[in-house]
Amino acid sequence: MGKISVVILAGTEQHSDLARVLNGLELVREAKEAGDEVELVFDGAAVSWIPELNRPDHKLHKVFESVKDRVAGACEYCAGAFDVKDGVRAAGIDFLSEFEGHPSLRSRISEGFQIVTF
């Protein structure tokens, strides 16, 4: 069983960003179905995806819902910087702020997680 931390960094500005988010969500879903210890972290511009993915009419909403139980959280600092804190809260996603307001990837690495970024 693997330990995987999927970190989505892609913003919402370009069509290719949608593909990166889908690939990240699919990796989480595949690892979850395989019984791996997997978590999903939204960091940087990717925090803006949470309110989008939480919309029932979004094309990736169903995939997001299928892995929502594996979402570790969203960068608290970045959610403030991108003005999406309310949308993150509305989606029921926790904020991560282990290192100066940001998620600590170092602690995840030290816990044996492989970091995969999209």
21: helix, strand or coil: helix
- What's the gap between Cα 80 and its chain centre? 16
Question: Per DSSP, what are the bridge partners of residue 4?
Answer: 38, 114
What pLDDT, in 10s, does the model give residues 10-42?
999 999 999 999 999 999 999 999 999 999 999
Classify 3-117 by CATH class.
Answer: alpha beta
Query: What are the pLDDT digits (tens) for 70-98?
Result: 999 999 999 999 999 999 999 999 999 99
Say yes or no to pLDDT of 2 above 90: no
The tokens of 87 are what? 């949308």
pTM of the complete model: 0.96
Domain positions in the chain are 3-117
Tokens representing 44?
């940087």
* Structure confidence at residue 1 as a pLDDT band (50, 70, 90): confident
